[in-house]
Copies of this chain bind each other. A is one copy, B any other.
């Protein structure tokens, strides 16, 4: 080893502390308050904001896209000839852009369509209510009372409909816009003489706002919910494999002493799989709004990802139960009490984990590259064979039965991936390889 590379001899702890404290004091002393504030803010910006941007650079792109869409709307307002066509309601276009622009193409499209439809339905209904009221009643006062009664009942009924789960999941935003537009148009109808042109103008500005949002979101760095859902599924499969590999070292390794699994990497992987359900469901809903995403195309079997996700979460639960069980064994000095049985547990666990982890890795890489996984997975059959072979052995320590349950679940995951590959018409790996060979030869 080179002398320059060798670390300096460690000084005694007391000396280090005092020396570094003095140095730190000296360094800190001359800094005035505002400079320290600034450096703290700078550090915060660098750490926190930088991390958020680095974690997903699409966030930065999205922020600039919102800025761009608002700029386009403002230009529409500033360039007078264009603006004349929209009148004072150009602000509705600004409002639409701020509310409709979402992170993914699917969310923007779904919000835009919700907004446009709700506006149309609500304005028609409000204008109808106004015409109806003026037909029935002659005095203006009675008409306004009638309209207020309308507003009360329509708003109450629409608000109640938001508690119905199906409506809450898909149309909550649309119902909100419906209440807003209905009240506004019904209220204005009393004061504004020419109602129809105003309603038309507002509706058209809202359409312009939605169009600007859609163009910006599709044409400038589009973020597809479908891509995220696909990555989430691949990530879950990888995390299951990580968990199995981590469990091996953490639970049976030399340093595995504590019975507490919290805070360990593989435990975090488990928690993130378990909590992926909400994200998965919402991405799935949004992905269906994106038939224009070329990578997946029209009528892609998105619901299959939910099936796969459910199986992954079940499998993660079994793995976690197994890991916590092994951790408890160690906590109560089980290895020392029953060394023979513990060795057997360890051996079986290691084998099955290894085979299972390999199977999961193969599945994840198949989904990632969108190729059909090989028909019969060697590793999986080895794991299942091993599980069946030692069932009698397993019965000696009942907890090991969980292991064989896990292998069964991984088998179900394999079937689900095969289903996905069939329904989504994944490429055939043999054919894909041949294509590559042909391409190489023809060059």
- A residues apposed to B, CB below 8 Å: 48-49, 52-53, 59-60, 62-64, 66-68, 70-71, 73-75, 77-78, 90-91, 94-95, 98-99, 144, 147-148, 151-153, 155-157, 159-160, 163-164, 176, 179-180, 183-184, 186-188, 190-191, 317-318, 320-321, 324-325, 328-329, 331-332, 334, 337, 391, 395, 397-399, 401-402, 405
Contact = CB atoms under 8 A, between A and B. Distances in A.
A144 B398 contact: no
Contact of A48 (B67, B164, B188): B164
Given A70-B151, A151-B74, A155-B67, A402 B325 contact: yes
A63 B337 contact: no
Given A90-B187, A95-B180, 16 more contacts: A52-B164, A63-B163, A67-B153, A67-B156, A70-B151, A70-B152, A70-B155, A71-B148, A71-B151, A74-B186, A98-B180, A98-B183, A320-B321, A328-B398, A328-B401, A397-B398
A49, A77, A164 — most chain B CB neighbours (10 Å)? A77
A99 to B, nearest CB: 8
Copies in the complex: 2
A187 B332 CA distance: 70
A345 to B, nearest CB: 9
Given A148-B75, A321-B321, A332 B401 contact: yes
Contact of A329 (B95, B152, B398): B398
A188 to B, nearest CB: 7
Contacts of A98: 176, 179-180, 183
Nearest to A329: B398
Contacts of A331: 401
B399 A59 contact: no
Nearest to A64: B156
A188 B74 CA distance: 10
24 contacts: A48-B164, A52-B164, A53-B160, A59-B163, A66-B155, A67-B151, A67-B156, A67-B159, A70-B155, A74-B148, A74-B151, A75-B148, A91-B184, A91-B187, A95-B180, A98-B180, A317-B320, A321-B321, A321-B325, A324-B402, A325-B398, A331-B401, A334-B398, A397-B398
A64 B158 CA distance: 10
B184 A395 contact: no
Contact of A156 (B66, B147, B332): B66
A398 B155 CA distance: 60
A195 B331 CA distance: 71
B187 A152 contact: no
B160 A94 contact: no
B63 A405 contact: no
A361 to B, nearest CB: 26
Nearest to A333: B395
Contact of A190 (B59, B78, B152): B78
Given A180-B95, A399-B325, A63 B157 contact: yes
Nearest to A259: B405
A90 B53 CA distance: 40
B151 A332 contact: no
